[in-house]
Amino acid sequence: MRAGQSSSAPEQNESPQEQAYSPQDEVFSESDSAIGDDGGPNDDKQNEHLDIGHHMLTLLLDGKLFLAPISQNPHKVMDVGTGTGIWAIDFADAYPSAMVIGTDLSPIQPNFVPPNVNFELDDAQLDWTYGENSFDFVHIRCLMGAINDWAKLYSEVYRCTKPGGYVESFETDIQFTSDDGSVEPGHIMHDWSTRIIDAGETMRRTFKIPKMSKRLIEAAGFVDVVETTYKVPVGGWMEDKKWKEMGRWNLLYLSKGQEGMALYILMNVLNVGYAVLITSFANMESLPYY
């Protein structure tokens, strides 16, 4: 009997923007091949952004790479949408018994990795080539806005997960909110994230998956699904040491990566002008928590 672990990640309060780049400064992942594309930046700035996100989420989990109660000696593990491969590499170092496979649309992973890591160029949205009951643990993280059919993805994960194995899906709710109600419709951060979410619906690549993942994972066949929600600050304004550090890393993560997503989605999907984006970036940078 398979079991599932679902973690829907942080509800954010506010977000600044560090700097904006002209369209030619970003390289985007677009392809007409069977491999497909995720419609996002694919360059050194984005890779740095992904690694910052890995550090931030590891800090969120108090140094752990995951929450699922897997065995101490897993044999085969999949990291879907591995990005720079940093999670897969860290997992392989921590679990030398496991053969870790990281898949992604872009071959941006390093060449020198632990011997129990293998990176494959693959589109997780296509039918998986792996046999049934192949993996002890399947890890999915931060693919919101990149997947057309989450139900199909989770169904393929279920088919390829061994009985008694786990899936952990960790996705971020990009809708900014605040405890005091100040980030509401009309606030630049609320409206900014709402437009990106709306663009995701237009592309049929939803950003709303944190609110859907538990239901879809259960529908795929997984049982004993546990959902854990974290609310993460933006900026170092909290007094608690952990959450102050988390807020600073979250601010850096958003500052380093959000303009890449915005340039592609808002300009190409919603036809927002570049000058409007530059003005929005400047307005966000003027917010006090920046």
What are the DSSP calls for 140-197, one per residue? EES-TTT-S-HHHHHHHHHHHEEEEEEEEEEEEE-----TTS-S-TTSHHHHHHHHHH
Cβ-in-10-Å burial (0-12, 13-18, 19+) of 132 comes to exposed
Is 264 domain-assigned?
A: yes
| The predicted structure's pLDDT at residue 223 | 97
Min mean pLDDT across 19-23, 154-158, 247-251 is at 19-23
Model confidence at 2, pLDDT cuts 50, 70, 90, reads: low
Residue 128's CATH number: 3.40.50.150
Band of pLDDT at residue 96, cut at 50, 70 and 90: very high
Question: What's the confidence (pLDDT) of residue 19?
Answer: 22
Higher pLDDT, 19 or 12: 12
- Please state, in angstroms and rounded to a whole number, the distance separating the CA atoms of residues 3 and 1: 7
pLDDT of 142 above 80: yes
| For residues 132-160, average pLDDT | 97
Inform me whether the pLDDT recorded for 17 exceeds 50. no
Angle between helices 86-94 and 44-60 (to 10 degrees): 40
Q: What local confidence, expressed as pLDDT, does residue 130 receive?
A: 96
Contact yes or no for 280/19 (Cβ under 8 A): no
80 occurs within a structural domain: yes
Question: Does residue 69 form part of some domain?
Answer: yes
User: Is 18's pLDDT higher than 50?
Assistant: no
Backbone conformation region of residue 145, classed left if phi is above 0, alpha if psi is from -120 to 50, else beta = left
Q: Is 43 exposed, middle or buried (0-12, 13-18, 19+ CB in 10 A)?
A: middle
Three-state DSSP at 11 gives strand
pLDDT given for residue 263 in this prediction: 77
Q: Is residue 52 part of a domain?
A: yes
Question: By percentage, how much of the chain surpasses pLDDT 90?
Answer: 63
Q: How many domains, the chain?
A: 1
Structural domain includes residue 290: no
Question: Quick one: average pLDDT of 141-155?
Answer: 96
Kindly provide the b/e burial profile for residues 50-78, where b requires at least 16 CB atoms within 10 angstroms of the residue's own CB.
bbbbbebbbebeeeebbebebeeebebbb
As a whole-number percent, the residues of the chain with pLDDT over 70 amount to 84
* More confidently predicted of 163 and 26: 163
pTM for the full predicted model: 0.85
Cα 282–Cα 187–Cα 208 angle in degrees, nearest 5: 100
Q: What pLDDT was estimated at residue 38?
A: 54
Q: For residue 156, give both structure tokens.
A: 């393929």
Distance, CA of 225 to CA of 17 (rounded, Å): 35
Cα 129 to Cα 37, 133, 151, 177, 220: the distances in Å are 19, 12, 18, 40, 18
Site of tokens 């100040």: 182
As a whole number, mean pLDDT of residues 261-275 equals 83
123, two tokens: 């589109």
Q: CA-CA distance, 31 to 135, in Å (whole number)?
A: 29
Average pLDDT of span 167-195: 92
- For residue 84, the enclosing domain spans 3-285
pLDDT value at position 56? 96
Helix (H, G, I), strand (E, B) or coil at 229: strand
Stretch 203-210: mean pLDDT: 95
Give mean pLDDT, residues 238-244: 95
Tell me the C-alpha distance between 66 and 254, whole Å: 22
Looking at every residue in the chain, the average pLDDT score rounds to 85
- Side chain identity at residue 288, one-letter code: P
Tell whether the model's pLDDT for residue 16 goes beyond 70. no
From start to end of the chain, where are the E strands?
A: 3-12, 76-80, 99-104, 117-121, 135-141, 161-173, 223-232
* 197 has a pLDDT exceeding 90: yes
Residue 78 pLDDT > 90, yes or no?
Answer: yes
- Using the structure block, give the residue that is written with the tokens 């985007």: 28
